[in-house]
Amino acid sequence: MTASDPFVVKSRSPSGRVLILTLNRPKALNALSDGLFRQLNAYLAEADDDDTVASIVITGGDKVFAAGADIKELGANTFAAAYSRDALSSWQRVAAIRKPIVAGVAGYALGGGCELAMMADLLVCTPTAVFGLPEINLGVIPGAGGTQRLAHLIGKTRTMDMVLNDRKLSGKEAYDFGLASGLTKEGESVVAAATKVAEQLATKGALALQAGKEAVNACEWKR
């Protein structure tokens, strides 16, 4: 990767109706830097205003979806500086997108990577994907709503085990526990599986999709 490579690569499905956003910082295991989030948010906002886009896929690589917030950037930050520039607000913008988002997760989805995947409306993963919230090992907590989202999805006890004790979930467990909505089939790539789901969504009415998403998200957990 050179300095001019994008942190997020955008493409369209063959029908043109699905926007596919691929996280692209492979050498840093797709760590979610400020620059990556700026690009991701810009593409998502653009898609929300683009009538040719019906649904969105966010995916990573075969080995890693995203290994979390960029620890090197975090280390250079103080709490006061991060708080005063409202650093986490850029994360929340993903959850505010009105069009449906499908996450396609292969490999590691750790920390902020797991939180980003949970901000999607549907989540397809490989059976061997690894979900985890290892922030406790760094002396911090999942800071972007992941604690609430996860508890809502898989229950308090499993969430406590993940948040307090760094318990990892395989993709198969994520599916069994209700974190993932689908698993890839043998030999199927995660991007193909997630795009297939997003293409199904694209056959539905745009307004009904948006209203359905809004209505489900109106239940009482933190979006």
Residues lying near ligand CO8 in the complex (CB under 6 A) are found at: 28-29, 31, 67-72, 108, 110-112, 134-135, 138, 140, 143
Separation of alpha carbons 56 and 118, rounded Å: 14
Three-class secondary structure of residue 103 per DSSP: strand
Closer residue to ligand CO8, CB minimum distance, 89 or 203: 89
Residue 6 Cβ vs ligand CO8, minimum distance, rounded to whole Å? 18
Separation of alpha carbons 150 and 154, rounded Å: 6
Residue 59 Cβ vs ligand CO8, minimum distance, rounded to whole Å? 17
Q: Given 69, 103, 109, 174, which residue is catalytic?
A: 69
Q: Could you tell me whether strands 64-66 and 18-23 are parallel, antiparallel, or unpaired per DSSP bridges?
A: unpaired
If you search the block for the tokens 């994008």, which residue do you land on? 6
Three-class secondary structure of residue 214 per DSSP: helix
Residue 128 Cβ vs ligand CO8, minimum distance, rounded to whole Å? 14
Closer residue to ligand CO8, CB minimum distance, 72 or 156: 72
Is 174 a known active-site residue?
no
- The 8-class DSSP code of residue 57 comes to E
Residue 27 Cβ vs ligand CO8, minimum distance, rounded to whole Å? 6
Separation of alpha carbons 129 and 119, rounded Å: 17
Closer residue to ligand CO8, CB minimum distance, 25 or 99: 25
Is 73 a known active-site residue?
no
Is 112 a known active-site residue?
yes
Residue 35 Cβ vs ligand CO8, minimum distance, rounded to whole Å? 12
Closer residue to ligand CO8, CB minimum distance, 68 or 100: 68
Other Cβ atoms within 10 Å of 175 Cβ, number: 19
Other Cβ atoms within 10 Å of 24 Cβ, number: 17
Q: Given 28, 68, 106, 135, which residue is catalytic?
A: 135
The residue whose Cβ lies closest to ligand CO8 is 111
Q: Given 47, 111, 115, 117, which residue is catalytic?
A: 115
- The 8-class DSSP code of residue 29 comes to T
Q: Given 61, 68, 107, 112, which residue is catalytic?
A: 112
Cβ-Cβ contacts under 8 Å for 124 (sequence gap 6 or more): 102, 103, 104, 105, 180, 181, 182, 183, 184, 190, 193, 194, 197
Closer residue to ligand CO8, CB minimum distance, 70 or 199: 70
Which positions are catalytic? 69, 112, 115, 135
